[in-house]
Amino acid sequence: MTPRVQNIGARGAERRRRGGMVWLVVGVLGAAALVGVRAPRAWALALAIPFAAAATGFLQARERT
């Protein structure tokens, strides 16, 4: 197996990590808001977008891609 090529430096990884944290906060606040207003459970599907963006940011930072 060949090693992965890292195409971002420390600054780019930090930007992706910070973006992941922002999206994680957006997702958690969105979840809290949905619970607070007692929204139907189907609305929770919309939270997949910010949580997926957070995971993508964290994974890209870890793999430096």
**CA gap 58, 56 in Å, rounded:** 6
More confident residue, 46 or 6: 46
pLDDT at position 25 is: 98
Q: Is residue 44 within 8 Å of residue 17, measured between CB atoms?
A: no
Q: What is the pLDDT of residues 9-36, one digit of tens each?
A: 899 999 999 999 999 999 999 999 999 9
pLDDT at position 6 is: 77
Dihedral pair phi/psi, residue 51, rounded to 5°: -70, -35
* Residues whose CB falls within 8 Å of the CB of residue 33, separated by 6 or more in sequence, listed in order: 39
Q: pTM here?
A: 0.85
CB atoms inside a 10 Å sphere around CB 58? 17
